[in-house]
Structure 1
């Protein structure tokens, strides 16, 4: 969509906060020591949890990197943007551009996962890092900034070890970092972020996105962080014998694809013993500890610069990781280890924990509100500001995620996953089965609950499509869409009113 100027009536507050968004990649919800996960070593995330507001029931809008990030940064679900998978999304308007237009200096350090990769996307300055096993250079293209850093020092990014290492499948993606620490992608990102904080000049408020690549596979922690997990008891994987017999065929297809794919992501958890899973988890958790250390250094740099105390700092991950649960690895499907993610917001005077359902779609409106920037009507999240200010706020009834042809809706009691174009789907009674082991999609005893959920899904999808139609027409700001109002007349509500149906 074409960029346009801010509405003329917008007035900026005098003292706008610096805004820091720190994102990890593929970090599941149960990976924070302060959240009761005593097997984790995360002192700096723990500090954020102590000083900020922990949203313990936060869910991402997509089950893979780009589907989720495109939705987070545009404020619109895939059915509006068309970004259901690894699609180009750089042409869409995003709220970083709104911050830019409102006078913020915007910097990206690390992974944003724009597609195309090198667009500005509203940022004035970017240090671009993609997945560590990215092969753009090998395929004749230009490398990212981390890859150039390696090349300038006579190093190469690791790739194709499934071909060169005969024991690759036995390592289950657990491979400690093999070069000097400074060459690790997350160390590079953390160091670059700290250098930027210390050296940036200018008097504008800043928006800074720091995107760590970890703990995306392969799980390559610094060795000294892996050593911290030696001898630690690991959580058992969640599974049951014959579980996938009652699940849609895509679940076994994912198993087979990952076991046969000809790149470094090859993994076959069906042949893994419990000790193998334990070793895999130690590497994954230690990878988070590596990120945690750099997060602490970024916070220290913010403190030294005098930026931390009055800033809005948001910490989250784009999606989670199955880590052997359900005899599966990685993402793609809508299990809670994939869609349930960490979210902590640090803001002056705000601390505590929230158990209401929230979505990462709420990050954009929260940031825009804090910056004094009008939230576009097409943004389908809502600001978390009332939680941060200690005000009463009615929790969401449902959260939603879309990825490829899967559509997930979840409340605190049920999860439904609709597969577009096929009869099979997923339905879980979360009160009785929080681990999602028993699929009730075809169970006649819950047919009434399933029908009600499908009706709710239809109501959400049609409402969302209608309300976002202004964006699809190329409009921005107030949509002036008609909506049933107090008089229920065809002309609907006035342009200053918004629907209040629980979805928006």
Structure 2
């Protein structure tokens, strides 16, 4: 009997250890991931090494792509700052979340968001940096946000207690500092979601003093369509966002002509003596040389282009450096294996294509955005995805990864199934709607992009259609709408457009489309 008991005890102990060994991996696999979302402002995919650019080194962003996935076809629903952030938060198009433009919209924080759902699900949540939604953040245990656009030097931050705090330093560094401070103070027993909102690379492209002159020895080639004449493209012809005519010598390029004018600019009046000395030491010799050259016409336009490129990329250098710093923090604090990191811009940006800077358009440079993600154990390092994804998809992706139900009214699609299953084709059509009818004179418009074609309906400022064959005309120079031989293609695309409008319940677009009882 004693022998039997001994054998039984040994068997039970052995079985118990096997059960523990089987249960443990499952418990590890279901551990909820931490989340870090890094959102930049106006950062062009054309400038990023991971996307094939040789304009500048971008080791921080390239690292995320190398250790995770690069989305080659990431797009936005509405290419402008505030609306893009509202879409990211809610997983809904602008007409559903209510923040359509930067002119009159105020984000209704009472509505649902991925942050609120994560918070209710036990996540610690924080948003630090640029917010730009004209209301106080909800769904975050901590927030520290820049008022409006914020400033590059010695910026103010709106704090949770209602105070405004001016911080000494360069904004990109300060946002990273505050993010690390929050990570240090969090409860390590709980998962977290941190959104880091960088101001860079938003206009006026004012670099950190450490990066001044970083690209002065490089001459950037003009884009092939820099002197675009906008033939048969009425909306493009009436815009006011050209480097030649719109880019300002003082505000944008720091060529003020006098200290009095420079002192009146808030970007410079905020600087301390040491910062101002370095800035003046860099820009004043450039301004003196410009005066000596006395450039006119195309020579002046091309000089402006070079200055724009150098300031923009120097501003992007601090952005990339701080992204690398955030990645270093995650990896050196034991967070790497269980943290999702997503980097994206709020939209694309023009680097002289069509002669432009800024964004807003459904055209590729504006519509398309950089997006890279690292998710160890779930997304193989060095992955490349050519499926259509959108900023609309961030919210459902994060909720699915966290094991939290995705609400039925979220309009995005989780990106995880397509990353794990190559047979999953994801969406085949992208729907876009831009509303603003003020700054830069870009006409409101909506439209779709398929694998090959793009169909656009402009309204208000300009009324009309555009059609592009992206396979034959990737720069979107030749509007084919109404051309012989494209009637059937156009009719099919209009039906697809209407299907997308109905799918997303965009009543504004539907009313315009059916104003005369047909696909108008």
TM-score range, shorter chain: 0.7 to 0.9
- Structure 1's 281 and 130: CA in aligned 2 closer, same or farther, altered over 3 A? farther
> What is the distance in 2 between the residues matched to 1:252 and 1:238?
21
Larger Rg: 2
Q: What pairs up with 1:226-241 in 2 under 5 angstroms?
A: 226-239=212-225, 241=227
Structure 1 residue 237, shift from structure 2 partner: 2.2
> What is the distance in 1 between the residues matched to 2:226 and 2:171?
36
> Is the Cα contact below 8 Å between 1:127 and 1:145 reproduced in 2?
yes
Structure 1 residue 212, shift from structure 2 partner: 0.6
Moved more, 201-210 or 421-430: 421-430
Moved more, 332-341 or 207-216: 332-341
1:110 aligns with 129
1:343 aligns with 371
Structure 1 residue 461, shift from structure 2 partner: 0.7
Query: Which runs of no fewer than 5 residues in structure 1 stay unpaired?
Result: 1-12, 154-182, 468-504
TM-score norm. by structure 2 comes to 0.73
- Alignment partner of 1:357 is 2:373: no
1:124 aligns with 141
Q: What pairs up with 1:88-237 in 2 under 5 angstroms?
A: 88-91=106-109, 92-116=111-135, 119-130=136-147, 132=149, 144=158, 148-150=164-166, 183-237=169-223
1:177 aligns with none
- Alignment partner of 1:288 is 2:274: no
- Alignment partner of 1:419 is 2:447: no
Structure 1 residue 281, shift from structure 2 partner: 1.2
> What is the distance in 2 between the residues matched to 1:270 and 1:252?
20
1:9 aligns with none
- Structure 1's 270 and 215: CA in aligned 2 closer, same or farther, altered over 3 A? farther
- Alignment partner of 1:81 is 2:97: yes
1:438 aligns with 478
1:28 aligns with 44
Aligned with 2:499 (options 429, 449, 459) = 459
What is the SS of the residue equivalent to 2:423? coil
> What is the distance in 2 between the residues matched to 1:251 and 1:85?
22
- Structure 1's 270 and 386: CA in aligned 2 closer, same or farther, altered over 3 A? farther
> What is the distance in 2 between the residues matched to 1:410 and 1:215?
26
- Structure 1's 249 and 463: CA in aligned 2 closer, same or farther, altered over 3 A? closer
2:66 aligns with 50
Q: What is the aligned length?
A: 419
> What is the distance in 1 between the residues matched to 2:229 and 2:489?
22
> Is the Cα contact below 8 Å between 1:244 and 1:252 reproduced in 2?
no
> What is the distance in 1 between the residues matched to 2:228 and 2:385?
36
> What is the distance in 1 between the residues matched to 2:412 and 2:389?
9
1:480 aligns with none
Query: CA deviation digits over 1:297-319, x for unaligned, max 9?
Result: 11112223211221111111110
The structure carrying a bigger helix percent of its residues is 2
> Is the Cα contact below 8 Å between 2:151 and 2:171 reproduced in 1?
no
What is the SS of the residue equivalent to 2:446? strand
Q: What pairs up with 1:373-412 in 2 under 5 angstroms?
A: 373-404=404-435, 405-412=444-451
- Alignment partner of 1:17 is 2:33: yes
Structure 1 residue 322, shift from structure 2 partner: 1.5
What is the SS of the residue equivalent to 2:335? coil
Query: CA deviation digits over 1:146-187, x for unaligned, max 9?
Result: 99554x65xxxxxxxxxxxxxxxxxxxxxxxxxxxxx11111
TM-score norm. by structure 1 comes to 0.76
What is the SS of the residue equivalent to 1:417? strand
- Structure 1's 101 and 387: CA in aligned 2 closer, same or farther, altered over 3 A? same
> Is the Cα contact below 8 Å between 2:242 and 2:356 reproduced in 1?
no
> Is the Cα contact below 8 Å between 1:347 and 1:388 reproduced in 2?
no
2:246 aligns with 259
2:258 aligns with none
- Structure 1's 69 and 263: CA in aligned 2 closer, same or farther, altered over 3 A? farther
- Structure 1's 120 and 67: CA in aligned 2 closer, same or farther, altered over 3 A? closer
- Structure 1's 266 and 38: CA in aligned 2 closer, same or farther, altered over 3 A? closer
Query: Which runs of no fewer than 5 residues in structure 2 stay unpaired?
Result: 1-28, 255-295, 436-443, 508-520
Structure 1 residue 390, shift from structure 2 partner: 5.0
Query: CA deviation digits over 1:439-494, x for unaligned, max 9?
Result: 22342432322222121111111122199xxxxxxxxxxxxxxxxxxxxxxxxxxx
Aligned with 2:333 (options 300, 305, 323) = 305
> What is the distance in 1 between the residues matched to 2:38 and 2:150?
21
Backbone CA RMSD of aligned residues: 3.2
> What is the distance in 1 between the residues matched to 2:133 and 2:463?
34
Structure 1 residue 244, shift from structure 2 partner: 2.0
What is the SS of the residue equivalent to 1:294? helix
What is the SS of the residue equivalent to 1:231? coil
> What is the distance in 2 between the residues matched to 1:143 and 1:199?
19
> Is the Cα contact below 8 Å between 1:132 and 1:185 reproduced in 2?
no
> Is the Cα contact below 8 Å between 1:68 and 1:319 reproduced in 2?
yes
> Is the Cα contact below 8 Å between 1:248 and 1:425 reproduced in 2?
no
> What is the distance in 2 between the residues matched to 1:317 and 1:353?
18
